[in-house]
Each structure stands twice: as C-alpha cells, then as structure tokens.
Amino acid sequence: MSDYYATAEATLPLWTAARKTDPPTSHAAAARAKKFRGGHCKRILEALAAGPAGQTEIAARTGMSVAAVSKRLPDLRRDGDIERTGREVAGGECEYRRCER
C-alpha cells in the first residue's frame, strides 16, 4: 500500500478538502457544484417564503424537479434554514416551512 493512504488528508471525505494530487478540473468542478447547490437552496427558500409546502409544491413554485428539491431539503434542514411543520400534504409528503431567524 502506498504512503498516500497513511496521510491525514487522505482520511478526510473527498469533498472536505482539495488534495494536492487532484487535477485542476476537479477543483473547478467542485466549485461549480457548490455554486449549483447554493442556487437550488436559494430558490427553495424563496419558494417557502410564500408559505409552507411539500416537495411537489416546492418543485412547482421553483420550476425544479421533485428529485432536485428532495435532494436539497436535508441540507437545508441540517443547516437550520427549514423545518418540517408536522403536517402531511397530498401524497403523504411532509410539509416544510422556513425557520424564523
């Protein structure tokens, strides 16, 4: 086994830090992905400013796919930007609202 795997940097998840061995295209792709994620999260938060909604309604308000909305909701919940209301909407979806800050 190479010494690469013995370094502390190699034990971190790949997305936490750039590695010296990564090609420049990997760094550029990571920067684009972060910006892309941020744009989706912003659109979801703007949609929830109109009131609580489930994933399907959020998708309709933002023009995003339900899958894209579903992928970002856990990030927004983890960051404390949104929360579940405790209600279910059509199709058994959880309803979400923006957190008051």
pLDDT tens-digit readout, 42-78? 999 999 999 999 999 999 999 999 999 999 999 899 9
Is the residue at 89 inside a domain?
A: yes
Is the residue at 57 inside a domain?
A: yes
Q: Which residue has the higher pLDDT, 89 or 8?
A: 89
| pLDDT in the model for residue 29 | 57
| Integer CA distances (angstroms), 89 to 36, 48, 53, 55, in order | 28, 15, 8, 9
pLDDT tens-digit readout, 11-54? 545 555 556 676 666 655 555 555 556 678 999 999 999 999 99
| pLDDT in the model for residue 54 | 95
- Which helix H or strand E contains 75, and what residues bound it? helix 66-78
The answer to whether the predicted template modeling score (pTM) of the entire model surpasses 0.75 is no
Is the residue at 71 inside a domain?
A: yes
Instruction: Count the Cβ atoms, other than its own, within 10 Å of residue 32.
Output: 10
Is the residue at 88 inside a domain?
A: yes
User: Which domain does 34 fall in, by range?
Assistant: 28-98
Is the residue at 90 inside a domain?
A: yes
| pLDDT in the model for residue 64 | 94
**Count of alpha carbons within 13 Å of 68, Cβ hemisphere only?**
17
Contact criterion met (CB below 8 Å) for 61 and 47: yes
CATH of the domain at 84: 1.10.10.10
